Amino acid sequence: MTTADIDALRANWNYPTAIRFGVGRIKELPDACRELGIQRPLLITDPVLARLPMTKEVVRICDRSGLATSVFCDIKPNPVGKNVEDGVRAFRRGNRDGVIAFGGGSALDAAKAVALMIGQTRPLWDFEDVGDNWTRVDLAGMRPCVAVPTTAGTGSEVGRVSVIVDERLHQKKLIFHPKLQPARVICDPALTVGMPPRLTGETGMDALSHSLEAYCSPFFHPQAAGIALEGMRLVHRSLLNACAEPADLLARAEMLAASLLGAAAFQRGLGAMHAVAHACGGLLDTPHGRTIAVMMPYVLALNRPVIDERLARLAAYLGFRRPSFESVLDWVLGLRRQLGIPHALAELGARRDHLAPLTELAVADPSGGTNPVALTKVNLRQLIARALDGALPIARAAKVASRSRARAKSGAKAKAKPRRRAPARRRS
């Protein structure tokens, strides 16, 4: 890429929060901290990133600018409540005044939760995204947070939720507050160049899932639907390039943008991909992006009777030669093959004896409330069983959709049913 090409990727955005996007903008981190009154930040990241020269250089950038920065990195790939508690202790012990969330989704979620919990008297789980629990938060007890993503997948840098595992229940819980969204974000595509191809692929599939599930949601939110379409176009254009050519800054920038778009879009809702992935992550500690990618075609097949026409429109937007549900499904399956994603949950360590607890966890997960097909214990158990065995019911799904179209063409009148409404879910 030329200097002009790189400069063209540079922009300041304010949707849904203040974002500085562009190569080299990590150098502006001290300015972003000072805008929030942060002088003594705690940089929260994961143990692998903490050892890398990139992270040490970021700390030096802060130190040279007069920000007394320390690092906390005791974060699991699926962060747990104790990680948040330990981060709060490190914050208080060092007399810190703000948080830099640096890393992938795990570090960002944990860091946001730490910034939330500094001055709270209630336990973390009291702020789970259920009803009006968020109103229990003492705003004066929160601390400012600047987010710096180093992966392109979760979009947590612009989200109002932290996903944390409650180890007592082996359950992922969504901790929510509107102010949990970082007040400043720095998106520097150069920071993602060091991601290995497998991680690039898995996080990229997570970004795709956010836009795909948001686009398929049954609820009216035309802005989110449009954002989701563009997010998927960027994934289609750049994910494989980012994996094949890790130093391709255009591909890295477009995937980082796709991640942001997916997180902005899923305020319209998610679905069964995330409900099952959260269940697997809580019970089996599976990697989130990999689990999402495994589940994606099975969930599309489950939802086909409702989303068949919608995916044909998506296929047309992506420029597929024969726009249809099948062409989108083929694209997803092809991505998985080229990225080395397993085909079945069994390859992630799930067993038949996990079927019942996974079903219970998935049916209780709030992400499932906006799935196009209403989720029940029965159809979730069937879904997970198929994913365990790698049995993708493409033929059956095709017949169901074909019968549905035939009825519509013949003018058959189906009795109108009340529109299903899911509980409101507050996302990015």
pLDDT at 400 over 50: no
Residue 4, pLDDT score: 79
How would DSSP label each residue in 16-64? Answer: SSEEEESTTGGGGHHHHHHHTT-SSEEEE--HHHHTSHHHHHHHHHHHH
**Burial environment of residue 53 by CB neighbours within 10 A (0 to 12, 13 to 18, 19 or more):** exposed
**What stretch of H or E contains 235?**
helix 222-244
pLDDT at 396 over 90: no
Query: Which two three-digit tokens encode residue 322?
Result: 């024969």
Where residue 417 falls among pLDDT bands split at 50, 70, 90? very low
Share of the chain above pLDDT 70, in %: 92
Mean pLDDT, rounded, of the chain: 91
pLDDT at 47 over 70: yes
Where residue 425 falls among pLDDT bands split at 50, 70, 90? very low
Residue 394, pLDDT score: 67
pLDDT at 411 over 60: no
Span 240-255, pLDDT tens digits:
999 999 999 999 999 9
Query: Which two three-digit tokens encode residue 414?
Result: 């189906």
Residue 407, pLDDT score: 44
**Burial environment of residue 139 by CB neighbours within 10 A (0 to 12, 13 to 18, 19 or more):** exposed
Span 202-241, pLDDT tens digits:
999 999 999 999 999 999 999 999 999 999 999 999 999 9
Query: What is the C-alpha separation between 208 and 205, in angstroms, rounded?
Result: 5
**Burial environment of residue 130 by CB neighbours within 10 A (0 to 12, 13 to 18, 19 or more):** middle
Do residues 106 and 75 make contact, with C-beta atoms less than 8 angstroms apart? yes
Sequence-separated (6 or more) residues with CB below 8 Å from residue 107: 44, 45, 46, 49, 75, 79, 101
The topology (CATH level 3) of 197-410 is Dehydroquinate synthase-like, alpha domain (1.20.1090)
How would DSSP label each residue in 134-175? Answer: GGG--GGG---EEEEESSSS--GGG-SEEEEEETTTTEEEEE
Write out 61-112 in H/E/C secondary structure. HHHHCCCCCEEECCCCCCCEHHHHHHHHHHHHHCCCCEEEEEECHHHHHHHH
pLDDT at 419 over 80: no
The greatest distance separating any two alpha carbons of the chain, rounded to the nearest whole angstrom, comes to 73
Query: Which two three-digit tokens encode residue 255?
Result: 């995937």
Where residue 414 falls among pLDDT bands split at 50, 70, 90? very low
Helix (H, G, I), strand (E, B) or coil at 15: coil
pLDDT at 280 over 50: yes
Helix (H, G, I), strand (E, B) or coil at 405: helix
**Burial environment of residue 419 by CB neighbours within 10 A (0 to 12, 13 to 18, 19 or more):** exposed
Check residue 127 and report its DSSP letter. Answer: G
pLDDT at 133 over 60: yes
Antiparallel, parallel or unpaired: β 70-72 and 18-21: unpaired
Give ranges for CATH 3.40.50.1970 in the chain. 14-192
Where residue 423 falls among pLDDT bands split at 50, 70, 90? very low
Q: Which of 79-93, 171-185, 387-401 has the lowest mean pLDDT?
A: 387-401
CATH class of the structural domain 14-192: alpha beta
pLDDT (average), residues 334-355: 97
Would you report the helix, strand and coil content of the chain in percent, each value rounded to 5? Answer: 60, 10, 30
Give ranges for CATH 1.20.1090.10 in the chain. 197-410
Query: What is the C-alpha separation between 176 and 160, in angstroms, rounded?
Result: 6
Where residue 402 falls among pLDDT bands split at 50, 70, 90? very low
Q: In terms of pLDDT, which residue wins out, 9 or 273?
A: 273
Do residues 125 and 74 make contact, with C-beta atoms less than 8 angstroms apart? no
Do residues 197 and 239 make contact, with C-beta atoms less than 8 angstroms apart? no
pLDDT (average), residues 83-97: 98
Helix (H, G, I), strand (E, B) or coil at 197: helix
Q: What single letter denotes the amino acid at residue 55?
A: T
Query: Which two three-digit tokens encode residue 415?
Result: 């009795």
Where residue 412 falls among pLDDT bands split at 50, 70, 90? very low
pLDDT (average), residues 324-345: 97
Residue 2, pLDDT score: 76
